[in-house]
Structure 1
């Protein structure tokens, strides 16, 4: 098993997992979902509402992979700007994809409202600032593209930023309709919702192989064999079975969480904050009034082995945060390092296996993985029902 994170994970302190009742497996499920992280959780939520019989198969414990290392910023804007995506895949497709991410934000709110416990979901605005003067023109071009197609966006000049925050940056765009969430509680909330609707959960069950036949799919595991009419593979950054997913090298990212802060008057309307440079710094607040911040991504396919190197990155991250908020005494309590992946075109990989028609993939690659996973869950719902979806050609495996 691939090691996905190390360090002290803040979200694990906010939720106590409970075991699921063991069940006798059905002879044949409508859908087997392989992977109990965020993608598997959101898929189970959507498909449970469609009345499918579902088996959720997880090699460790559900919610135990990359989910706890997620920083929980949810945005319709992506790592690749709308105007740049237009140049890459065409204007119509790019706008469709961005609109689908906006709808996914609304769908995530629906998941939060239907979860059997509070997942700490709060609608927020995002401040996306230009890291340098050279980035202002690019940011203004993005503002014009978003505004042209009706996305909720404002352009802030330097004086606007200075009027609302204790730092100064050349310019920024502010988007509305984004959100913050406790990712572990969201993941577990979606799984518990589907579980209460009858989904069977099989933890500590490693999938050894998946074979599609004309009538059903056979899933060989360390816990015996399963049969399903369809299989959805949602294994995140773990190596995927039976197909090659177009993906860049994995990256390592670093994240920190402060101790609770008594006075947050310096933080305008609890906005989420990120920037144009790459790798970028990003940050948000939690229900406990902690700052969660991350960034300093590196191209690495395994977690760093040198604690000295890790400590240097954490020190740099803390310093960058302190520069933005120079008058605040920030005490840090949690530090963690995690792996994540990106596809070659910075879009997720979702859809039917190119050769085996009963096997589907939902791999929410990139910095916006939770939103991609929500978008993908509804896309797969449509594919399973034989309906067309406009995002199919944009995110399909062989594109």
Structure 2
């Protein structure tokens, strides 16, 4: 079946396409439209805070990062409170395409140019380890989230041809990372994709991000964590504790506070490396199995702006990209139709098979850094306040990495390599 994907682009505004705008102001700041994940009210025990209290750790934000941090910290026996002003996992987490890659937005060649080969290779190996460990965690916790191991296909595009990918492959091999270099003929023979070259690498995965996030959070709650619907309006960090004032009028004292609020960090968490951009995504209606590419690998095209593609368990194609700076949610929403059309055209060029009926369209704001690495660690000058953000295209992989790093920090088990991701690290500006 070879139906023009552009035929589906015209349906993006049709009544049967799920792209209605969110009316909840807090959610609308983060995302617009409707992703294909089941964003409903999963039964998680939550409560208003009835009295002032003290806990070992407060996690602000109940998305995927907050959920993973709560799970990691409760595993140590510490008391944990998770505070969120909205429903858990319904903000930026729900907008994720959940392509759980170990490959970083910044190529190993580029990262080595910024920080030297040894440091760059170490960072890549950490990311590979995080992706693997995340899969083991999902299996150990028996989370029903459609978690499926996938290979990644990094295909050439624009100015990235065979020679550039060969250089990247050589550095990855030197670092002990898995993968193979495919020339144009081999790429077309194995995957039916026409590009100058590609790197195919095992070790990544896909999942339903909402179900993954809520499954992890449910585990933390079963271990004794508390989920509170409220908003933190003030932080006061002293030598011995952090004092939080909540919108409800209640106060909480904590030994440590983890800020897992995505790109919307409090003003006292500055970084010259961070910026906020918007991204747009589509999902098709389910495809026939024979109209999908072999192995259903995660596809990442080296174009500007880039394109990323995956499938879902029920055979949909998810595609996204077209990242751009936007001033606010209204501008992001105004660009929706134009961005969807561009994504559909690029998807048709990459994979001109199957049908093009677009069933879901959405957009979201997210944070990225100039070096492609996350910002994880203590707020400078405030060791009891910890933050994790700036994930770029590696959101959930970095969320897992952050949860383990911050749990170790809280337990007093800091490692030297944590400096690679510090909020105040020296890095490229811009």
Same fold, TM exceeding 0.5? yes
- SS of the residue corresponding to residue 368 of structure 2 reads coil
Q: TM-score, normalised by structure 1?
A: 0.94
Query: Alpha-carbon deviation of 1:248?
Result: 3.8
Matches within 5 A, 1:273-288: 273-288=299-314
Instruction: Please give the alpha-carbon distance, in whole angstroms, between the structure 2 residues aligned to 1:5 and 1:306.
Output: 9
Instruction: Please give the alpha-carbon distance, in whole angstroms, between the structure 1 residues aligned to 2:363 and 2:291.
Output: 29
For the structure 1 residues 134 and 54, does the alpha-carbon distance in structure 2 shift closer, same or farther, using more than 3 Å as the test? closer
Whether the 8 Å contact between 1:379 and 1:391 is mirrored in structure 2 is no
Which of these residues, 67, 75, 81, is aligned with residue 55 of structure 1? Answer: 81
1:386 has 2:412 as partner: yes
Which of these residues, 172, 196, 207, is aligned with residue 222 of structure 2? Answer: 196
Whether the 8 Å contact between 2:243 and 2:254 is mirrored in structure 1 is yes
Q: Which runs of 5+ in 1 are unaligned?
A: none
Residue 249 of structure 1 is matched in structure 2 by 275
1:324 has 2:350 as partner: yes
Matches within 5 A, 1:68-79: 68-79=94-105
Instruction: Please give the alpha-carbon distance, in whole angstroms, between the structure 1 residues aligned to 2:171 and 2:296.
Output: 26
For the structure 1 residues 62 and 21, does the alpha-carbon distance in structure 2 shift closer, same or farther, using more than 3 Å as the test? closer
Which of these residues, 18, 38, 43, is aligned with residue 18 of structure 1? Answer: 43
For the structure 1 residues 387 and 311, does the alpha-carbon distance in structure 2 shift closer, same or farther, using more than 3 Å as the test? same
For the structure 1 residues 306 and 389, does the alpha-carbon distance in structure 2 shift closer, same or farther, using more than 3 Å as the test? closer
RMSD: 1.9
Instruction: Please give the alpha-carbon distance, in whole angstroms, between the structure 2 residues aligned to 1:87 and 1:190.
Output: 37
Deviates more, 1:71-80 or 1:300-309: 300-309
Matches within 5 A, 1:2-41: 3-12=29-38, 16-22=41-47, 27-41=53-67
Residue 227 of structure 1 is matched in structure 2 by 253
The superposition leaves residues 39-60 of structure 1 with CA deviations (integer Å, 9 ceiling, x where unpaired) of 1111111111111100001121
Instruction: Please give the alpha-carbon distance, in whole angstroms, between the structure 2 residues aligned to 1:31 and 1:295.
Output: 36
Which of these residues, 236, 254, 273, is aligned with residue 211 of structure 1? Answer: 236
Residue 83 of structure 1 is matched in structure 2 by 109
Residue 320 of structure 2 is matched in structure 1 by 294
Query: Alpha-carbon deviation of 1:196?
Result: 0.7
Query: Alpha-carbon deviation of 1:304?
Result: 4.6
Query: Alpha-carbon deviation of 1:267?
Result: 0.8
Whether the 8 Å contact between 1:132 and 1:169 is mirrored in structure 2 is no
Q: TM-score, normalised by structure 2?
A: 0.88
Which of these residues, 139, 155, 162, is aligned with residue 113 of structure 1? Answer: 139
- SS of the residue corresponding to residue 87 of structure 2 reads coil
Whether the 8 Å contact between 2:143 and 2:216 is mirrored in structure 1 is no
Whether the 8 Å contact between 1:348 and 1:363 is mirrored in structure 2 is yes
Query: Alpha-carbon deviation of 1:241?
Result: 4.4
Instruction: Please give the alpha-carbon distance, in whole angstroms, between the structure 2 residues aligned to 1:278 and 1:327.
Output: 23
Which of these residues, 127, 139, 153, is aligned with residue 127 of structure 1? Answer: 153
Give the 4+ runs in structure 1 shifted more than 6 A. none
Query: Alpha-carbon deviation of 1:214?
Result: 1.9
Residue 311 of structure 1 is matched in structure 2 by 337
Whether the 8 Å contact between 1:253 and 1:297 is mirrored in structure 2 is yes
Aligned length: 397
Residue 95 of structure 1 is matched in structure 2 by 121
Instruction: Please give the alpha-carbon distance, in whole angstroms, between the structure 2 residues aligned to 1:225 and 1:278.
Output: 47
Whether the 8 Å contact between 2:59 and 2:66 is mirrored in structure 1 is yes
For the structure 1 residues 307 and 27, does the alpha-carbon distance in structure 2 shift closer, same or farther, using more than 3 Å as the test? closer
1:375 has 2:401 as partner: yes
Query: Alpha-carbon deviation of 1:305?
Result: 3.1
